[in-house]
């Protein structure tokens, strides 16, 4: 009997702890791309507030499914959901952090930031219609660069990914032929090229294969010292991929709270805006006001205190104007 009592007490103790823990725990699931920055923020947030964040990077598709089924406090997706989709599943949505996608090339004799491309050239390269580096459509943009008469080896992602979704949305936006033939999505039916698995796969193939072009997340281009290209943006300027041009894209893009920020951050109109960027989004269940408040508290804290950490991890923090819009959106939705 005494033994039994002890056991019961021990169990009660364990459960009360579990309960106390549960109150301080936020569960999230979704996109793999922002996982490092969310966990870095969560680590610091835990030190300040004691709240723990459990984020499972299972992919955007999984994140959307989990929040739709209400098994997590928030979902995360690299692709914005449309207002119709959000309405149907009773979800709220806001961007949390940004990343850029950068075309990278390996051409003997061409240094980083030397090659200039416009959307027409990138599109035709990926359609397989522009086959040689010394094609006039590239040469005319780069009169001073010594381009070889070699076939272009196109590299793309072999796995489904938000990076591909951003890149194909960019191409669809600037290139009607791409939109009709291929379209945009996390994985598409590529007309040409070989597939590398993950950013590391694309970075590896591009680095190794002479006369190749690929596209990777900004962080990978930086870390692997790949030679990025300059791109012509809709304002007509050739821009370099860096924090400033990404932020300019976010600041000038039309993120509309009424549409739950449903926007691909591509071809932004800003003068110095990098044309291929993307925000990653947080999804909340509309009716779960209590847990939403806790989630929003975390992101509010991160917006105020997390920019430095994000930049260290080569993520692009949202510009202040957008953060203000998001805070107003929270208020408007009763969080």
| CA 61 – CA 193 distance, rounded (Å) | 25
Q: From the list 197, 271, 293, 311, which residue makes contact with another protein (rule: CB under 8 A)?
A: 197
Strands (DSSP E) found in 17-122: 25-30, 52-56, 74-77, 91-106, 116-117
Beta carbon nearer to another protein, 195 or 257: 195
Q: From the list 188, 230, 249, 322, which residue makes contact with another protein (rule: CB under 8 A)?
A: 188
- The answer to whether residues 280 and 98 touch, using CB atoms and an 8 Å cutoff, is yes
**Is residue 205 close enough to count as binding another protein by CB under 8 A?**
yes
| CA 120 – CA 103 distance, rounded (Å) | 14
Contact code string over 53-92 relative to another protein, x by CB under 8 A: -----xxxxx-x--------------x-------------
CB of 260 to another protein, least distance (A): 17
**Is residue 177 close enough to count as binding another protein by CB under 8 A?**
no
CB of 173 to another protein, least distance (A): 15
Beta carbon nearer to another protein, 216 or 326: 216
Task: Determine what percent of the chain falls in helix, strand and coil, rounding each to the nearest 5.
Answer: 45, 20, 35
In the block, residue with structure tokens 């691909």: 264
- Which part of the chain contacts another protein (CB under 8 A), choosing from 89-97, 205-213, 217-225, 314-322? 205-213
Please name the residues in contact with 13: beta carbons below 8 A apart, sequence gap of 6 or more: none
| CA 261 – CA 278 distance, rounded (Å) | 12
Number of residues that bind another protein (CB under 8 A): 32
CB of 85 to another protein, least distance (A): 10
| CA 92 – CA 261 distance, rounded (Å) | 10
Q: From the list 36, 83, 148, 185, which residue makes contact with another protein (rule: CB under 8 A)?
A: 185
Q: From the list 44, 114, 135, 159, which residue makes contact with another protein (rule: CB under 8 A)?
A: 159
Tokens for 142, please give them. Answer: 């780069």
Q: From the list 149, 189, 258, 308, which residue makes contact with another protein (rule: CB under 8 A)?
A: 189
Burial class (CB in 10 A: 0-12, 13-18, 19+), 254: exposed
Q: From the list 196, 241, 278, 317, which residue makes contact with another protein (rule: CB under 8 A)?
A: 196
Q: Which residues bind another protein (CB under 8 A)?
A: 32, 58-62, 64, 79, 153, 158-162, 182-190, 194-197, 201, 204-205, 208-209
């Amino acid at each position: 009997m005494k033994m039994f009592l002890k056991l019961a007490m021990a169990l009660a103790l364990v459960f009360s702890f579990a309960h106390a823990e549960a109150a301080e725990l936020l569960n999230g699931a979704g996109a793999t791309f922002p996982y490092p920055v969310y966990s870095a923020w969560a680590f610091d947030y835990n030190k300040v507030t004691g709240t723990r964040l459990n984020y499972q990077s299972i992919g955007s598709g999984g994140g959307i499914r989990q929040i739709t089924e209400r098994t997590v406090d928030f979902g995360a997706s690299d692709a914005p959901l449309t207002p119709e989709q959000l309405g149907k599943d009773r979800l709220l949505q806001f961007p949390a952090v940004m990343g850029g996608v950068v075309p990278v090339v390996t051409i003997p004799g061409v240094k980083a930031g030397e090659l200039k491309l416009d959307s027409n050239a990138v599109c035709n390269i990926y359609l397989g219609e522009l086959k040689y580096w010394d094609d006039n459509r590239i040469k005319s943009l780069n009169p001073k660069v010594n381009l070889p008469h070699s076939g272009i080896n196109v590299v793309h992602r072999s796995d489904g990914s938000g990076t591909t979704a951003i890149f194909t949305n960019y191409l669809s936006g600037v290139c009607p032929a791409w939109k009709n033939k291929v379209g945009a999505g996390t994985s598409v039916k590529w007309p040409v090229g070989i597939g590398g698995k993950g950013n590391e796969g694309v970075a590896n193939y591009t680095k190794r294969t002479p006369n190749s072009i690929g596209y990777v997340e900004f962080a990978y281009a930086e870390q692997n010292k790949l030679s990025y290209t300059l791109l012509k943006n809709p304002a007509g300027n050739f821009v370099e991929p860096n924090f400033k041009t990404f932020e300019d894209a976010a600041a000038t893009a039309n993120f509309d709270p009424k549409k739950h920020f449903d926007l691909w951050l591509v071809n932004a109109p800003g003068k110095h805006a990098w044309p291929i960027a993307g925000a990653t989004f947080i999804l909340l269940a509309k009716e779960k006001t209590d847990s939403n408040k806790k989630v929003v508290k975390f992101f509010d804290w991160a917006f105020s205190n997390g920019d430095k950490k994000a930049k260290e991890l080569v993520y692009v923090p949202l510009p202040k104007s957008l953060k203000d819009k998001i805070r107003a959106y929270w208020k408007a939705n009763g969080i």
